[in-house]
Structure 1
Amino acid sequence: MKPRALTIAACLLALLSTVGAALPYPILPPLFAGSALNDFNHFLGLPPKLLFGIAVTINPIGLLIGSAVLGPLADRYGHRPVLLATAFGGAAGHALSAVGLALQSYPLFLAARLFTGLMEGNGSVARALLADQLAGDERFRAMSLLNGAFFLGWLAGPLLGGATVHWGVTTPFWIAVAALAFTAILVARALPRTPPATAAARREAAPSWWQVARRQHALNLLRHADLRTLFLVELAYASGVTAFYEFYPLWLVEVAHFDARGIALTTAAMCALMTGCSVLAGRFAGGDPLRRACWSALGVAACVLGVALGGPVTGLLAIILYGLPNAVWSAVIPSWSAERFGRAHGQGAVMGLISTTFCLASILTAAAGSLLTLIDTRLILALGATLTAGAAVHLRAWRRSEIMTSSASPAPADPSGPADRRDAAAVPRSPAGEPAPETPSTHPAPASRP
Structure 2
Amino acid sequence: MPTPPQPVPLPERADLEQLKKRAKELRRAVRSQRATALHLVALHAPADHAGPDEFTLDTAQLVIARMYGFPSWQRLRQHLAAHPGTAGDRTRTGTRRVRDYYRLRTGWASASDLRRCAAVATSDQPGPAEWEPLLSALHNGVRVIAFDSPAGVVFAELTPARVTLSAPATRGQAGTGASATFHTDFGTIAGVVAPEVTSLAVERPADRRPLGWAPVVDGVFVAPNAFLVDATGIVLRTNGSPRGEIVPTTSLPPRATPVVDRPAPPVEATASAAELSAVLAASDAPPVVDPERWQPGVHTRLTPHEHLRLGRYGRLLARHTTGDRVSVTDPVVFDFTPQQGPVRDFVALGSSLSATRMYYDFADGGSGRPAVLGLLDDARVTSVVLRRAGLPDLPAHLAGGTFLIAGPDLTELPEHGRGHDPAPAVLVARDADGSVLEELPYRE
* Range class of TM-score, shorter chain: under 0.3
> 1 or 2, which has the higher strand percentage?
2
TM-score, normalised to structure 2, is 0.23
Higher relative contact order (CA 8 A, sep 6+): 1
TM-score, normalised to structure 1, is 0.23
Q: Which has the greater radius of gyration?
A: 2
